[in-house]
Amino acid sequence: MYVVNPDIIKENKLYKTNGIIANWLINSKNIPLFGRGKNGEWYFANTDLLKEVLENIPFYYKITKNLF
């Protein structure tokens, strides 16, 4: 379950990403999904745990962030 309209939340409290990184965060790191945007964006709460996980993200996922 996730928030249907994450657009009303301030952007500094959310981390927006593509589906490739989102699936990695959900399935490999057990980070809960906050919501999905109208244009296919995936939103996660911008927490200390998320920041720690993103600091150690594998290189090939960093590349996909720039592709989308």
Residue 22: the pLDDT is 95
Question: What residues does each domain of the chain span?
Answer: 9-67
CB atoms within 10 A of CB 61: 17
Tell me the per-residue pLDDT of 8-32, one tens digit each, with 9 for 90 and over.
778 789 999 999 999 999 999 999 9
Listing from the earlier edge strand, what are the strands of the sheet with 42-45?
A: 14-17, 42-45, 35-36
Please name which of 49, 18, 20, 9 lies closest in space to residue 32, comparing C-alpha atoms.
Answer: 49
Provide the whole-model pTM. Answer: 0.82
* DSSP structure class, residue 3: B
Sorting pLDDT into bands at 50, 70 and 90, what band is 4?
low
